[in-house]
Amino acid sequence: MPSTALKKSIDRQRKALEEMVAPVIKSIAQDCSNAWPEREALNQALESHVQDLPYVAYLYVLGTDGIQICDNVNKNGRFIEHFGRDRSKRPYLKEVLPAVDYWLSEAYISLLSNRPSITAIQLIRKNGKVIGYLGADFDLRDLPLTQELYEEPGQWRQIKGDPAIRGLLFQQTRAKSVLDKHIDEAISILTELYAQRGVFHGKLLFSSSRATLWLVEDPYTYRILEMEELIDPDICFAYPMRPYPEKAVVPQNRIREIFEGFKKLRFADETIYLRSGSLNIFNGLVALNFSCDGSHYLRWDEFLNPDHPFWAGNIDSTSRPATD
């Protein structure tokens, strides 16, 4: 189930698509009613409206039993192999409600393209009686309305991990890594790379003693720093000086505090301890993964607030979401 913020973003896209498609679909359904039930007449009715739906993958007509009684039609012509196809078990028909004339399905994986798709269904009526369905399939990648980027919310979220790991949690203790022994040097170098040398996102992996870094000037490629590099100040020569990004939401002078928080969580307990932590200065999120395999995501300022519920909670008892 999508998070509340993600669901709202999806719902906005669905509403925009519905407003674009519904009036056209209703008009096509009326022409199909007049052409009912002749295959050729229905094909012609669909062809006359293809240009009204420039993003449609296919138009087709079904009987009330879900059997297709015409060809698939799109801007490239007719596809006769779909005549007689049984669509009664497809997800978009299972959702149809008899009391609703028009229905926009949930997204599903198309049998033809193996890609995420969505279908609009319009009831076809004659003399007030439902005689069939008009279907309009859309490939999500062809819809301009689905291109709005979802914004990740900054709320605290907790997500449970592998139950097998949680079940054996109290049979394990933290094994001291090389990074544990040199954590102060690593924190100093990471702070320098973030604050002065263009790193905007990074993940510190304590158990394997390494870090992965993403740079503002090359965001599509990540760098891996192994232990020898992570504690060697000379590594800074490989990352030229860069101005701290104006769009960063994490203040430059608070970066070290966040990494010091990672250190605190790493050594706070020998059973429940931090395995990895990451920081993104643009969305301001701190991500934490613990020995119980539970993960937490929270804003940088919440992470630095000792009165935040995160610091009072049981790290091994994770749920999703922590808050709405």
- pLDDT tens for each residue of 153-196: 556 565 554 454 444 444 466 567 889 899 999 999 999 999 99
Task: Answer yes or no: do 136 and 182 share one domain.
Answer: no
| Crossing angle between the packed helical segments 255-267 and 183-196, to the nearest 10 degrees | 150
Query: Within this chain, do residues 39 and 166 fall inside the same structural domain, yes or no?
Result: no
In b/e form, how buried is each residue of 219-258, taking b as 16+ CB within 10 angstroms?
A: eeeebebebeebbeeebeeebeebebeeebebeeeebbeb
- Examine residue 224 and state whether it is found in any structural domain, yes or no: yes
Q: Are residues 113 and 14 in the same domain?
A: yes
Residues 176 and 142 in one domain: no
- Both 164 and 72 in a single domain? no
Assigned domain for 251 exists: yes
**Cα maximum dimension of the chain:** 82
- Is 165 found in the same domain as 117? no
What pLDDT was estimated at residue 167?
A: 46
Q: Alpha carbon of 35 to those of 27, 41, 48, 98, 289: distances in Å?
A: 13, 5, 12, 22, 61
- The residues, ordered by sequence, that sit 6+ positions from 120 with a Cβ below 8 Å of its Cβ are 18, 21, 22, 25, 102, 103, 104, 105, 135, 136, 138
Residue 278 lies in a domain: yes
Choosing from 100, 117, 147, the residue where a domain stops is 147
* Range of the structural domain that residue 46 is part of: 4-147
One domain for residues 185 and 280? yes
Instruction: Determine which of 85-89, 145-149, 315-319 has the lowest per-residue pLDDT on average.
Output: 315-319
Q: Single out the residue in 125, 147, 169 at which a domain terminates.
A: 147
- Tens of pLDDT along 16-70? 888 888 999 999 999 999 999 999 999 999 999 999 988 899 999 999 999 999 9
Residues 164 and 292 both lie in one domain: yes
Q: Hey, how many other C-beta atoms are within 10 angstroms of the C-beta on 212?
A: 15
- Evaluate whether residue 322 is within a structural domain: no
Number of structural domains found in the chain: 2
Domain closes at, from 147, 171, 194: 147
Would residue 164 count as lying in a domain?
A: yes
What pLDDT digit, counting tens, does each position of 214-260 carry?
999 999 999 999 999 888 888 888 898 999 999 999 999 999 999 99
* CA 137/CA 17 separation, integer angstroms: 12
Residues 110 and 26 both lie in one domain: yes
User: Is 317 domain-assigned?
Assistant: no
179 and 253 assigned to the same domain = yes
Q: Vertex 16, ends 10 and 21: CA angle to 5°?
A: 120
Is 190 among the domain residues?
Answer: yes
For residue 289, is it within any domain?
Answer: yes
pLDDT of 66: 93
One domain for residues 19 and 111: yes
59 and 96 share one domain = yes
Residue 120, both tokens: 């609009």
Q: What is the pLDDT of residues 77-94, one digit of tens each?
A: 999 999 999 999 888 887
